[in-house]
A and B are shown apart, each in its own frame.
Chain A
Amino acid sequence: MGGRCERFSYPLGTRRLAWENIRSRPFRSLCLMLAAAVVGCSLFGGSVLVIGLERGLRSVGERFGADLMVVPAGAARKAEAILLGGDPGYFHFDGGVADKIARMDGVERVSPQLFMTSLSADCCDALVQLVAFDPATDFVVQPWLARSLGSGLRDGEMVAGNNILVRPDRTVRLFGRRYPVAAKLARTSTGFDTSLFMSRATARQVVAAAQAEELDSPIDPVPEGAVSAVMVKVAEGHTPVYVAWRIRRDNPGVDVIVSQSVVSAISGSLRKFTGRVRDLSCAIWLAAALILAALFAGSANGRKKEFALLRVLGATKGRLAALVLCESALVCAAGGALGVALAALAVFPFNAYIGVKLQLPMLTPAPEAVAALVVASFAATAALGPLAAGFAAVKAGASDPCLTLREGE
């Protein structure tokens, strides 16, 4: 006899009983699980968004590199669009401004940059931003290029932003000529992702190639010695805002972008957004806790006879409470796993799109941060079950055993 019933002889412990209860009420269990899935989804999705945006903001701060960016008057918005939005553009003014600014009190270093664009035509792989820097004075691009490359950039070589499509032979084609790509940068979620970086010497080769092709290129009219921006590092003991004010005062025809202001403007928007996400996640968690508490309490009410029977059969109050808590934890754990998976499917493939839609820089959090968020979101959702079922557990323990015995009276 014992041998024949072996295949059904698993222990009927608390977990098994809880699982059998979940299985025997599929609709109720599914509703509870979906409520928990909403929580898991909002916690994980919201956290990934917040951390991704914060990482994006840090990236903007790091990549900006200079305290001030001096551009031609009226070009400040365009410059910000190039840097943050990735909208290719160009403008220039007399490079002599750089020397004048370098001599000003409160200025530690200056380095000019030239912005150009390729063409959206057969001659070029794509319309992208070209950024030429001066290797002798540069303190903005080269430090992070050195981190990526491990060495300096040779003449004729370029470094591609993360979104630039590089040919299989590691070249890009500009104005009919191919240039070797020394490295591709990690994603920054800024305009750098759609930029090609090169020295001024390489930029001259690009201009010459464009002129040789007799193309109606936007870089044609760049006069010798012209620059698009002068990056400024402010000396210690001076405030960037004050130095910017003095540059504007002494150099009519220029505009000054203070990087702190740019970052803090983004940071302000980000704070508002992340605040909203956090509030929403808390509200969803709380609302779900209340809904689940009501559902569990209602369910406990409907199961009075079952609990009463278990009490008659000798289950202690603690055992019944453990059964209810275990059921709620299993349901919420399953819901949490589902919610986290759904959020991952929604957020990771579309994080760039989300960043564009929010008009904020967005980067995928580091793998270890993602792993920590998965664990934390799952745990917070699974914990929601026993928390919400606390009242139901007490109610189950307090079931009147006579309820089941009175049947038929």
Chain B
Amino acid sequence: MATPAPLVEVKGLSKEYAPGVAAVAGVDLALGAGEFACVTGRSGSGKSTLLNMVAGVLRPTSGAVLLDGLDLFGVSDREASLVRNAKIGYVSQGANLLGGLSVLDNVRLPFFLAAAGRSGDAAAKAAALLEQVGLGRFARTRTRPGEISGGEARRVAIARALVNDPSLVLADEPTGDLDPENAAAVMELFRQIAHQGVAVLLATHDPAAAALADRALRMEQGRLTECATRE
């Protein structure tokens, strides 16, 4: 029986911000649907650069990122944007919510950034996601991001990353500024997301958080090594 093709394939990915200074050097990685992988490493080791390239927002110096067989840097910017919108959910270091929109609107925002002609308003979906991340009460109010805590904002960002039913979720230091209790809750959320068949790639410098992942990867001086795989 043939092995199914991985959802994400990273081939010989390198990024040099200055000639001869590689932030990421020749990284290869394959990630299947439902896999929960975690990249650890010190600050400046190249974790965020790797995630940005996998998300298709940072062009690599060399190498390729294939999502469902599509080379993210071999297509037009418009096509890459639409693929990112439809298939990738990104949780960045800060929660990065739009202060002018309500919590619910922040969650359903990616739905409306898709190509024109999409019907529906994603309100029920966004409300369900807020419920899933334990913030169902914000689905019924006009609460603004400025009125919620950092941990809540991070969970809102996770809900937003899921609103378009992505096949890949990327998260950069999602527990960075959270207390241990909130950090554990957020990591549990990612586990649940992976169990729903979504590939999750997470970057963190917190070994405790990384221990919860199925696959532990380590980034050192731009090079990626596999540390452990949970069966």
- Chain A residues in the interface with B (C-beta under 8 A): 1-2, 4-6, 8-13, 17, 20-21, 23-25, 305-306, 309-319, 401-402, 404-409
Q: Give chain B residues whose Cβ lies under 8 Å from the Cβ of A12.
A: 101, 105, 108-109, 111-112, 121
In the assembled complex, B154 has its CB within 8 A of some CB on chain A: no
A5 touches B78 (CB 8 A): no
A9 touches B123 (CB 8 A): yes
Nearest CB of B to A236, in Å: 68
Q: Give chain A residues whose Cβ lies under 8 Å from the Cβ of B142.
A: 8
Q: Give chain A residues whose Cβ lies under 8 Å from the Cβ of B183.
A: none
In the assembled complex, B102 has its CB within 8 A of some CB on chain A: yes
Q: Measured between alpha carbons, how far is A313 from B113 in the docked complex, in Å?
A: 7
A318 (CB) vs chain B CBs: closest residue: B78
Interface centre among B121, B128, B160 (most CB of A within 10 A): B121
Q: Measured between alpha carbons, how far is A1 from B109 in the docked complex, in Å?
A: 18
Query: B64-120: which have CB < 8 Å to A?
Result: 77-78, 81-82, 84-86, 88, 90, 92-94, 96, 98-102, 104-105, 108-114
A13 touches B112 (CB 8 A): yes
Nearest CB of A to B172, in Å: 6
Q: Give chain B residues whose Cβ lies under 8 Å from the Cβ of A305.
A: 96
A408 touches B113 (CB 8 A): no
B141 (CB) vs chain A CBs: closest residue: A8
Q: Give chain B residues whose Cβ lies under 8 Å from the Cβ of A311.
A: 57, 81
* 17 residue pairs A–B, Cβ–Cβ below 8 Å: A2-B123, A8-B102, A9-B124, A10-B121, A12-B109, A12-B121, A23-B100, A24-B99, A315-B81, A315-B85, A315-B113, A318-B78, A319-B113, A401-B58, A405-B57, A405-B92, A406-B48
Question: Given A314-B81, A319-B113: A5 and B86 within 8 A (CB)?
Answer: no
B77 touches A312 (CB 8 A): no
Nearest CB of B to A406, in Å: 7
Interface centre among A13, A309, A317 (most CB of B within 10 A): A309
Q: Give chain A residues whose Cβ lies under 8 Å from the Cβ of B82.
A: 314, 316
Contact of A313 among B52, B110, B127 (CB under 8 A): B110
A1 touches B98 (CB 8 A): no
| CB 8 Å contact bits of B124-141 with A (1 = contact, 0 = none) | 101110010000100110
Interface centre among A305, A312, A315 (most CB of B within 10 A): A312
Q: Measured between alpha carbons, how far is A6 from B52 in the docked complex, in Å?
A: 36
Contact of B84 among A312, A318, A407 (CB under 8 A): A312
Q: Give chain A residues whose Cβ lies under 8 Å from the Cβ of B52.
A: 401-402, 405
Question: Given A306-B98, A317-B78, A408-B173: A312 and B90 within 8 A (CB)?
Answer: yes
In the assembled complex, B176 has its CB within 8 A of some CB on chain A: yes
Q: Measured between alpha carbons, how far is A344 from B114 in the docked complex, in Å?
A: 43
Q: Measured between alpha carbons, how far is A92 from B167 in the docked complex, in Å?
A: 101
B112 touches A1 (CB 8 A): no
Q: Give chain B residues whose Cβ lies under 8 Å from the Cβ of A306.
A: 98
B105 touches A312 (CB 8 A): no
Q: Measured between alpha carbons, how far is A325 from B100 in the docked complex, in Å?
A: 18
Q: Give chain B residues whose Cβ lies under 8 Å from the Cβ of A314.
A: 81-82, 84-86, 88, 110, 113-114, 164
Other than the given A9-B121, A13-B112, A408-B93, 16 more pairs (CB < 8 A) read A8-B123, A10-B121, A12-B108, A12-B109, A17-B112, A309-B98, A311-B57, A312-B96, A313-B110, A314-B81, A317-B77, A404-B92, A405-B52, A405-B90, A405-B93, A408-B173
